[in-house]
Amino acid sequence: MSLYGTMRTGVSGMNAQANRLGTVAENIANSSTVGYKKASVQFSSMILPTTAGSYNSGGVETDVRYSISSQGTFSYTTSSTDLAVNGDGFFIVQGSDGVDYLTRAGSFVVQDDGTLQNSAGYTLMGYEYSSTVDPTIVVNGFDGLEAINLSSAAISATASTVGALNVNLPSNAEVGDAETTSLVAYDSQGNSRLLEFTYTKMADNTWEVSAEYAGPPATSVIAATTVTFDSDGQIVSPTSLLTTAFTVDGAEMGALTLDISTSSQLAADFSVEEGEIDGNAASSVTGYKINEAGVVSVVYDNGELVPKFRIALASVQSPDNLNPIAGNLYTQSNDSGVIVMGYAGTSGFGSIVSGALEDSNVDVAEELTAMIESQRNYTANSKVFQTGSELMETLVNLKR
């Protein structure tokens, strides 16, 4: 039986080296694939029971492993939606079947429907952004995730609601003297509306502030307030100016609350120390910006940056034991551990790099070396098989 065992051992060795050559071929073929993690074959001996008078040769077993936890280098691009994770974590993407997967391949492109899809056609998932608090995240699952969709951001107009107008009024002005300034506000349709403010001295430490909308179609008073100062020239009351809402050309110019709390009355010329109002005119999208925390913002042609979504990341205790599937995707396995969700930059997760892609972690020179080794080892094992075959033939011919 030992001759048959010798041949089986040779075949086992050839199969093992063939498996190794298979991973080498796959690694070299994907050496330029974004986010690809190299495969390798681990060898272990297979021992068969023997008797005192006969040795039973065993063989070799192979186990294919993926270096998923090994990060590749970065290649920088000109697209802000090309993403890489610097550190631990995986993007969550969803296929057309509605199933969520993990990936490190971040070559995302904005589609006609506003979604971000990578080169394999999987959609990037995240949470709708909130300026006050991070979206509640389901730590141990994909519940609550939604496709990052920028289709609603094609054009934007924001009506003005608050602002600030802090000035210095000359304390040496005569009663009846007046000073004027103006601010631009935006109505509900994004039209700019010019608001004029007039400061008239009524008495010592007392001024009247009036605000007018300077048409068309007509000029209308939208605020009138008496402002008083103390003996040091600091404002006493009021600390804010409230205008009334009005309708013009079918659009609503809402009420404005303007902070005037740091206005002063000092022996200096009239000056505007602070003058601003929120809101913006109708603006089209010029691009997108994604910061290292994964906040996806829309850039408008007026320079405004509006955050819309936040990218979620996932991690597992043993990423090298994830199940790899086609498209540079991974799914959870019994050995990988549970999936933990989080955000970039938080504990256990790396940061997101915009305008970059993670390269394959394949070293082509190392793979070519492994290919030569496997070729030589395959040949050596074939010689063992050939020798066993020749000896078997000799044994059969003994009876002739």
User: Which pLDDT score, from 0 to 100, does residue 67 have?
Assistant: 93
Residues 6+ apart with CB under 8 A from 77: 355, 356, 357
Residues 238, 291 share a domain: no
Pairing label, strands 264-266, 162-170 = parallel
Chain centre distance of CA 398: 75
Give how far Cα 244 sits from Cα of 160, 176, 210, 253, 299, Å: 13, 25, 12, 9, 32
Q: For 132, which DSSP code?
A: S
- The one-digit pLDDT tens for each residue of the chain (400 residues) are 477 778 888 888 899 999 999 999 999 999 999 999 999 998 887 777 666 667 667 788 888 899 999 999 999 999 999 999 999 999 999 999 899 999 999 999 999 888 999 988 999 999 988 776 666 677 677 888 999 988 766 677 889 999 999 999 999 999 999 999 999 999 999 899 999 999 999 999 999 999 999 777 767 788 899 999 999 999 999 999 999 999 988 899 999 999 999 999 999 999 999 999 998 888 877 888 999 999 999 888 877 788 889 999 999 999 999 999 998 999 999 999 888 998 998 888 999 999 999 999 999 999 999 999 999 999 998 998 888 888 888 887 886 6
User: Which pLDDT score, from 0 to 100, does residue 6 have?
Assistant: 80
In degrees rounded to 5, what are phi and psi of residue 21? -65, -35
Residues 185, 235 share a domain: yes
In degrees rounded to 5, what are phi and psi of residue 382? -65, -30
Residue 14's SS3 state is helix
User: Which pLDDT score, from 0 to 100, does residue 299 have?
Assistant: 86
Residues 147, 78 share a domain: yes
Residues 189, 335 share a domain: no
Q: Which of 278, 309, 342 is the last residue of a domain?
A: 278
Q: 32-44: b or e for each residue (b if 16 or more CB lie within 10 Å)?
A: eebbbbbbbbeee
Residues 290, 145 share a domain: yes
Q: Which of 278, 294, 320 is the last residue of a domain?
A: 278
Answer whether 58's CB lies under 8 Å from 78's CB. no
Residues 120, 44 share a domain: no
Residues 117, 44 share a domain: no
Domain that holds residue 373: 2-67+361-399
User: Cis (ω within 30 of 0) for the bond into 324?
Assistant: no
Residues 288, 268 share a domain: no
Long-range CB contact pairs, 206-209, < 8 A, 24+? 207/169, 207/265, 209/241, 209/260
User: Which pLDDT score, from 0 to 100, does residue 222 have?
Assistant: 85
**Containing H/E element for 2?**
helix 2-29
Residues 394, 256 share a domain: no
Instruction: Please give the Cα distance from 353 to 71 (Å, whole number).
Output: 13
Residue 359's SS3 state is coil
Residues 202, 266 share a domain: yes
User: Which pLDDT score, from 0 to 100, does residue 45 have?
Assistant: 79
Residue labelled with tokens 């006050």: 132
- Specify the number of domains making up the chain: 3
Write the Ramachandran bin of 192: left for phi over 0, alpha for psi from -120 to 50, otherwise beta. beta
Instruction: Please give the Cα distance from 355 to 311 (Å, whole number).
Output: 15
Q: Which of 278, 296, 319 is the last residue of a domain?
A: 278
Residues 291, 317 share a domain: yes
Residues 228, 170 share a domain: yes
Looking at residue 222, which CATH number applies to its domain? 2.60.98.20
